[in-house]
Structure 1
Amino acid sequence: MELVEGHRPVDAAADIATWDTDPYDEAVLADPYPWWAELRARGDVVYIPRYEVLAVGRYEPTKTTFSDHETFVSSRGIGLNDFKLETPWRPPSIILEVDPPDHTKTRKVMSRVLSPKVVKGLADDFRVTAETILDRVLEQGEIDGVTDLAEAFPTTVFPRAVGMHDVHVRNLVDYGAIVFNAVGPDNALRKAAMARAPEVSAWINAACARDQLSEDGLGSLVYAAADAGEITEDEAALLVRSFLSAGVDTTVTGIGNALWCFANNPEQWEALKADPKLARPAFEEVLRYTSPVHTFARTANVDTEIAGHPVAESTKVICALGAANMDPDKWGDPDVFRINRKPAGHLAFGAGIHGCVGQNIARGELEALLTAMAERVDGIELAGDAEWRPNNAIHALDKLPLRLFAK
């Protein structure tokens, strides 16, 4: 049995199915769809003895568990480790890994900084940058969709939006991967992430300092909240850090996954070209179909239940968001990628009070890029085999050889 240090073993109820599996096996992470289907097939709640945790993957119990922030808390860690029993590897996120009232305070600041009005003000830069990058990659013809497009776009527009003076593309992308690998067990992926964490974290922390930011970016708006007494200076630095832990790698993943979806479903690319206004619902369908964040955990803070099954206090619950987003009981034909689906209620951005606070800016970036592509790119096709990058929480591509054809 592979327990996580600081994790309290759980007695599984007799009526909960037991599944001897490893959701963090690299083969599972590279191709999680069969595992997601099996998890749903085994019941509303499944006990995984390898880590002494419960797991949910059907849509309704997953959404219910993920949304109930009072019963299933985030403050004890969104991974397998229980912050009540051990010290986390870095200071916890003061928006993602806290509960109300602390969460309410920081969420208010971040919601204002990332409001639709603020994001609308970034739209022109998003659009111009998308067009510039597309002109470059269309000249190349054959590209790596991950590095040449999925990474290039967010690492250009997002640091500029935040107001960063110092931009290190590799550190920006890798920091998110490190943070998300850290939520898993102490496997090879987490060990590799922790080996790089000191170097990358030091750069991130320095880049988030007030004197390293412009006076007209999103970061300055966060520090203005500190000046107004809403948060402390230290809290402001942590909130700016959260931009970089959750706002770059996940968007890179979303773009790469979108390219993969369209390369494998050319008729859907034809539909988007015919109606570029479908860019927003197309991105929502990409999120549902590929679940860039595939798994987060919650901790039962009291004795409770899930779908009628008893759950003891301190139990870790793996919420397989990717499995819920592919539940046929919710979506009917989840295996079909269809950009006119309008999949309201997908869990790719989470649910409840901990729903992704940066989803407005992520949608703004993807809408700008997909709209520009629909106007400039006639066709997308695979130029080789796609390679998925196993990560304990992110479903992301490592390589995506593509051919792009200009109109």
Structure 2
Amino acid sequence: MELIEGHKVITPPDGMPVWDIDPYDEDLLRDPVPYYRELVAKGPVVHIPRFSILALGQYETTHKVFSDHENFVSSRGVGLNDFKIGEPWRPPSIILEVDPPAHTRTRKVMARALSPKVVRTLTDMFRETAARMVDQLLARDSFEAVTDLAEAFPVAVFPPALGMKDVDQRNLVDYGACVFNAMGPDNAMRRWALTRNAQISPWIMGACARDRLTDDGLGAMVYAAADAGEIGQDEAAMLVRSFLSAGVDTTVTGIGNALWAFSQNPGEWDRLRADPSLARPAIEEVLRYTSPVHTFGRTAGRDTEIAGFPVEEGTKVICVLGAANMDPAKWGDPESFRIDRRPAGHMAFGAGIHGCVGQNIARGEMEALLTVMAEKVARIEPAGDAVWRPNNAIHALDKLPLRLIAS
């Protein structure tokens, strides 16, 4: 069997558009909107010969395939490597890289720990932390928003919520970046991820061990499920580690992207300040407009079809969520940032049974921070050029110099 990037080479069916592009090119990932635009225009499914994959960008097709866990599976890896053929880069996640019925069992435990009811109990802590941080930043002429707020806020609130006794901002943020970079091809970003993960993995494993957690956090809820026989003790440890990519990295990216979007669209910030009830719709628009997770993979688990084209078993498919969130057929004017859009059905957190399990807590953290900022901050102003950090699966900022003007 001929392989490329750990999956089998396929021959595209007659009539399928072929596009010679590298969707993991670093310059493309820094400014992906032109790529999204062209992918959507090329049709519902495109063959990319460089990696022998199919790429989806139109909303309707992307949503359908991403949600179809029976034909397009996650257990063979959500990146380019096919776990059925080759060795995974790490033990597969028992929540992210697994299919029903095993997924149903572990997802139930995670969803209970991260339910809206549980997240509501954390709201006061989120708001108090946000208020303290925003007051400190208002006293400064300018600040680096990625490290000083987008990273600092989730690292200040999520580890205590999880019950972690050991906290290291760089390790926690880099861990998520490693997981997402590993989904790509053998490029510099993936090689960095594998090297960095080897450095921080022992710390992550130790920090998530049961004896390094308090008995009143989200982690304790997972270990209690193991005690009750719902999952194994080893599975509990793996699920606690899964919290870190679900509750830190995507939230860091979402907060940074929100700050960038409002700094570029001051009229929308004025609109939020005038009507704080728009905080939740504003979060959804930030997620749609910037797509913190831009690409996720699936593998055809059987011979099937996409948009009328036959798809053979073992085909790797990338669902370009960022493109789906920019499809004008769905959104009308997708490249406009409007916090009153209320973009129901956006794919920033995926769709179907594999929708991001941490989305409730991500929304809770973002809402607390934006609501506090709307009360205290009159303007969010650029204090330098934003720099985007290319990643094989997430669209995140590397640097964002900002200035906050008090109300």
1:296-355 Cα shifts (integer Å, max 9, x gaps)? 010000111111111111000010000000000000010110001110000000000000
Residue aligning to 1:28: 28
The 2-side partners of 1:328 and 1:286 are apart by 17
Residue aligning to 1:241: 241
Residue aligning to 1:105: 105
Residue aligning to 1:134: 134
Residue aligning to 1:174: 174
AA aligned to 2:81 is N
The normalised TM-score by structure 1 is 0.99
1:266-297 Cα shifts (integer Å, max 9, x gaps)? 00000000011111110000000000000001
On the 8 A contact 2:5/2:80 being kept in 1, the answer is no
The 2-side partners of 1:358 and 1:246 are apart by 5
On the 8 A contact 2:5/2:51 being kept in 1, the answer is no
On the 8 A contact 2:246/2:357 being kept in 1, the answer is no
How far did 1:246 drift?
Answer: 2.6
Moved over 2 A (4+): 2-6
The 2-side partners of 1:369 and 1:262 are apart by 13
The 1-side partners of 2:87 and 2:220 are apart by 30
On the 8 A contact 1:144/1:401 being kept in 2, the answer is yes
Alignment of 1:2-401 (within 5 A): 4-401=4-401
The 1-side partners of 2:264 and 2:245 are apart by 29
- Equivalent pairs, count: 406
Closer/same/farther in 2, CA of residues 21 and 5 from structure 1, 3 Å limit: closer
The 2-side partners of 1:162 and 1:4 are apart by 39
How far did 1:5 drift?
Answer: 4.0
AA aligned to 2:213 is L
Percent identity reads 70
Match of 1:255, SS state, is helix
How far did 1:3 drift?
Answer: 6.1
The 2-side partners of 1:115 and 1:60 are apart by 28
On the 8 A contact 1:3/1:52 being kept in 2, the answer is no
How far did 1:245 drift?
Answer: 2.2
On the 8 A contact 1:71/1:304 being kept in 2, the answer is yes
1:243-275 Cα shifts (integer Å, max 9, x gaps)? 012321110100000000000000000000001
AA aligned to 1:296 is F
Closer/same/farther in 2, CA of residues 244 and 4 from structure 1, 3 Å limit: farther
On the 8 A contact 1:285/1:341 being kept in 2, the answer is yes
The 1-side partners of 2:196 and 2:297 are apart by 23
Match of 1:103, SS state, is helix
1:107-153 Cα shifts (integer Å, max 9, x gaps)? 11111111111000000000000001001111113111111110110
1:19-70 Cα shifts (integer Å, max 9, x gaps)? 0000000011111100011111111110000000000000000000000001
Moved more, 243-252 or 160-169: 243-252
How far did 1:7 drift?
Answer: 1.0
How far did 1:391 drift?
Answer: 0.1
The 2-side partners of 1:269 and 1:321 are apart by 25
Moved more, 147-156 or 245-254: 245-254
The 1-side partners of 2:201 and 2:33 are apart by 32
The 1-side partners of 2:9 and 2:135 are apart by 55
On the 8 A contact 2:58/2:323 being kept in 1, the answer is yes
The 2-side partners of 1:185 and 1:247 are apart by 25
How far did 1:14 drift?
Answer: 1.2
The 1-side partners of 2:355 and 2:282 are apart by 20
The normalised TM-score by structure 2 is 0.99
Match of 1:378, SS state, is strand
On the 8 A contact 2:10/2:315 being kept in 1, the answer is yes
The 2-side partners of 1:103 and 1:120 are apart by 25
On the 8 A contact 2:278/2:339 being kept in 1, the answer is yes
The 2-side partners of 1:314 and 1:363 are apart by 35
On the 8 A contact 1:208/1:237 being kept in 2, the answer is yes
1:152-209 Cα shifts (integer Å, max 9, x gaps)? 1000000010000000110000000011000000001111111111111111111110
Match of 1:152, SS state, is helix
AA aligned to 1:159 is P
On the 8 A contact 1:3/1:51 being kept in 2, the answer is no
The 2-side partners of 1:278 and 1:395 are apart by 24
The 1-side partners of 2:139 and 2:207 are apart by 33
Match of 1:153, SS state, is helix
On the 8 A contact 2:246/2:359 being kept in 1, the answer is no
Match of 1:166, SS state, is coil
AA aligned to 2:99 is D
* Structure 2 unaligned spans of 5+: none
How far did 1:18 drift?
Answer: 0.5
AA aligned to 1:211 is D
